[in-house]
Amino acid sequence: MPEPEPVFDSSGQPIDDAAKVDLLCTALMWGLLRAQVRTQWSTVAFPEAAEKGTDDREMLRISPTGPQLAQFMERTLWGTLPMAAGTPGERALYQRAYDAVAAVIDGVDLSIAEGVAVPDIVIDARIALE
């Protein structure tokens, strides 16, 4: 997987201590989520699915940029709507992914002056009836 792009401040200077978010999920889960978050109308590119031959159960670390994370959130939320997703199982998958990311992001203390430590976001493969 390629390294995430550097983050810049408003003057164009790189920010070394910007918060970095990592998504951890299985190769199969990333393939399903990646298909949902990519859109033909966007220029935001997402990391490729797992390399050929990767076991579907292997855990991947995805390090999205800010624009990628924003589109991930918008598209997974969109996928929870009954008219957007094909099945209740897909809606549950997108809801689980959205909730996992939102819970971690909402827990970040933005008042910290130094780089913010953000825990890994683990998106598991369980689909529960909630």
pLDDT tens digits, 54-74: 787 888 888 888 888 889 999
* Confidence tier at 124 by pLDDT (50, 70, 90): confident
Flag whether pLDDT at 80 surpasses 80. yes
Of 39-48, 65-74, 112-121, which has the strongest mean pLDDT? Answer: 65-74
* Confidence tier at 128 by pLDDT (50, 70, 90): very low
Edge-first strand order for the sheet with 23-26 is 59-62, 23-26, 121-122
The model carries a pTM of 0.74
Query: How many helices (H) does the chain have, and how many strands (E)?
Result: 3, 3
Q: Are 72 and 64 in contact (CB under 8 A)?
A: yes
Mean predicted confidence (pLDDT) in 9-23? 63
Mean predicted confidence (pLDDT) in 81-109? 86
What percent of the chain stands above pLDDT 90?
13
Flag whether pLDDT at 15 surpasses 90. no
Residue 116 corresponds to which tokens in the numbers above?
């913010």
